[in-house]
Chain A
Amino acid sequence: AQSVTQLGSHVSVSEGALVLLRCNYSSSVPPYLFWYVQYPNQGLQLLLKYTSAATLVKGINDFEAEFKKSETSFHLTKPSAHMSDAAEYFCAVSARNNNDMRFGAGTRLTVKP
């Protein structure tokens, strides 16, 4: 079975600073990996996904993530935080032979002016 662990339930950065949200996965088979964002009172929206093409994946709003098999990691980064990035971010993993996605506990990102 697959699972993900998000390190840090709450991350706070200043506007313009680097955003780094950490995610480690566990999977017995090659995984698909995803990052979702949830704004208050909304559903989750897909930010980006890794599906075995390039290991560096670019998503919406200048977010990107790098799949590192040796570290079993899929950390999310953004060079410069914007106030509108304040939200909850979820890492997720699914196996390639099924569509059963497992979500991490989420990381709440706060952006200070």
Chain B
Amino acid sequence: DAGVIQSPRHEVTEMGQEVTLRCKPISGHDYLFWYRQTMMRGLELLIYFNNNVPIDDSGMPEDRFSAKMPNASFSTLKIQPSEPRDSAVYFCASSALANYGYTFGSGTRLTVV
């Protein structure tokens, strides 16, 4: 298996633009997680899905953020409009069961200027 695949690896965008981050989980993993990592706040759970259904989105910072999982092999995290304070590394992770641990993607480094 190729692992969790995220795209793009790097994204530089101007404030106010829409940004879409993409994730392909490991086949057979029923859980998918979106995290944001910054120096100031560390790793923050934004949202997670179980069997394509959002379970907990309490970590989504505000309405500018939205996430979808239209099928078991694809998820998106969208920021519209983007702001400089959204600059961070965004990780996607997938998991089979609670005792398996998570497999993380390589992350998307987002810079909003």
Give A contacts to B, CB under 8 Å. Answer: 32, 34, 36, 42-46, 49, 51, 90, 94-103, 105-106
Contacts and interface: CB of A to CB of B under 8 A. Distances in A.
A49 B99 contact: yes
Contacts, number: 51
A44 B91 contact: yes
A79 B78 CA distance: 44
Contact of A32 (B45, B56, B99): B99
B91 A43 contact: yes
Interface residues of B, number: 22
Given A42-B106, A45-B104, A102-B45, 5 more contacts: A36-B101, A51-B99, A94-B98, A96-B98, A106-B42
A106 B99 contact: no
A44 B97 contact: no
Interface in B1-24: 4
A17 to B, nearest CB: 27
Contacts of B52: none
Nearest to B103: A46
B107 A100 contact: no
Contact of A100 (B42, B56, B101): B56
Contacts of B104: 36, 43-45
Nearest to B102: A101
B34 interface: no
B50 interface: yes
B106 A32 contact: no
A103 B93 CA distance: 13
A53 to B, nearest CB: 10
A100 B48 contact: yes
A36 B91 CA distance: 14
Interface string B87-110: 000010101011101111111000
Contacts of B56: 100
A49 B103 CA distance: 13
Given A100-B56, A103-B43, A106-B43, A32 B105 contact: no
